[in-house]
């Protein structure tokens, strides 16, 4: 197949590119590099099955030749990144989504939206099932992202219902792994970087807030399974293993025995959700998918990756 990925130079996007190429497909990557990294795709230079198009998907997307599938991942995605790029976030999650849905109709390509656990907002019921409609503040500090994703889901369903677009929606929960952005303040990247540098691990608030953290290879498999399935309604993808942020900080410290870092409790973030845990019954039943990589194993892989990155930086 010939597959387009918006957000191909990002963390999850670049892993998805590698996965689809390894499966023998042709991949067209589209990215404007607002939060992406060219280096994530450098190893693919000269690969005849990979084409990179530097482009902002807020502008109409034109691609020569056939396309069979479109994965729409493009958007600033960490709280820090979408606070820094509010307008870009709201535009890519509205105009960008509409542009790619139009492209999917033009090419008769299947369309998958990478939505987010953000659509559940500050949840009152946990774990979150897909029939939970969320608790979001439309004018809150995260609304450009949360409401953007909610609108994108509405766009996918409207195109599916009225124009018979062949759409899929996955709601991605916190994902981590090599290539996650180290400068964007995401919790695992922060804690591992801080522990390797013997700096304090910054826990925001009292650290009792929880997250469920999914390793990136599991996430990519789930996203591809959803694309290749035949279910149009949203499917949660994420780890059902919930951990408090302070527990996570302790676990990172245990895995880096030589570190002199200690935990430092800092001011809590505005609109920081208290809990996040997906109910993945639907993904299990419909896709036969559930994550395989345990948190400890995944953390060890991130630690090893960041160690190598630091060594490479020192050599440069």
Q: Which is nearer to ligand NAD, 157 or 200 (CB)?
A: 157
d(CA 179, CA 219) in angstroms, rounded, equals 14
Is 78 a binder of ligand UDP (CB under 6 A)? yes
Among 5, 12, 63, 109, binds ligand NAD (CB under 6 A): 12
Q: Least CB distance from residue 156 to ligand UDP, whole Å?
A: 22
Q: Quick one: which of 149, 150, 171, 211 contacts ligand UDP (CB under 6 A)?
A: 211
Active site residue 145: yes
Is 210 a residue that touches ligand NAD (CB under 6 A)?
no
Considering the rule CB under 6 A, would residue 241 count as an interface residue with ligand UDP? no
152 is an interface residue for ligand NAD by CB under 6 A: no
Query: Per CB under 6 A, which region of 15-23, 37-45, 67-75, 185-193 contacts ligand UDP?
Result: 185-193
Binding region for ligand NAD (CB under 6 A) out of 19-27, 169-177, 269-277, 303-311: 169-177
Binder among 20, 27, 69, 96 for ligand NAD (CB under 6 A): 96
Q: Which does 74 bind (CB under 5 to 8 A by kind): ligand UDP, ligand NAD, none?
A: ligand NAD
Give the residues lining the site for ligand UDP (CB under 6 A). Answer: 78-79, 174, 185-187, 190, 202-204, 209, 211, 245, 269, 272, 276
């Amino acid at each position: 197949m010939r597959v387009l990925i918006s957000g191909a130079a990002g963390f999850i996007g670049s892993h998805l590119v590698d996965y689809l190429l390894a499966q023998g497909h042709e991949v067209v990557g589209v990215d404007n590099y607002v939060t992406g990294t060219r280096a994530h795709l450098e190893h693919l230079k000269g690969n005849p099955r990979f084409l990179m198009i530097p482009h902002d998907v807020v502008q109409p997307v034109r691609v020569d030749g056939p396309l069979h599938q479109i994965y729409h991942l493009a958007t600033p995605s960490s709280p820090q990144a979408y606070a820094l790029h509010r307008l870009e976030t709201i535009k890519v999650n509205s105009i960008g989504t509409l542009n790619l849905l139009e492209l999917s109709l033009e090419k008769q390509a299947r369309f998958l939206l990478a939505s987010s656990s953000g659509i559940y907002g500050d949840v009152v019921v946990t774990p979150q099932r897909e029939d939970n409609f969320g608790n979001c503040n439309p004018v809150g500090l995260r609304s450009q992202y949360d409401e953007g994703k909610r609108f994108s889901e509405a766009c996918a369903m409207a195109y599916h219902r009225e124009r018979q677009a062949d759409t899929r929606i996955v709601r991605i929960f916190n994902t981590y792994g090599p290539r996650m952005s180290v400068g964007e303040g995401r919790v695992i990247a922060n804690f591992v970087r801080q522990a390797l540098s013997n700096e304090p691990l910054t826990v925001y608030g009292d650290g009792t807030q929880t997250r469920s953290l999914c390793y990136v290879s599991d996430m990519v498999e789930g996203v591809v399974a959803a694309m290749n399935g035949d279910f149009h309604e949203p499917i949660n993808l994420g780890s059902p293993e919930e951990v408090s942020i302070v527990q996570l900080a302790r676990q990172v410290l245990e895995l880096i025995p030589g570190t002199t870092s200690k935990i430092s409790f800092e001011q809590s973030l505005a609109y920081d959700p208290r809990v996040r845990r997906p109910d993945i019954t639907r993904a299990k039943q419909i896709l036969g998918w559930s994550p395989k990589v345990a948190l400890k194993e995944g953390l060890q892989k991130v630690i090893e990756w960041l160690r190598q990155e630091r060594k490479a930086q020192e050599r440069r």
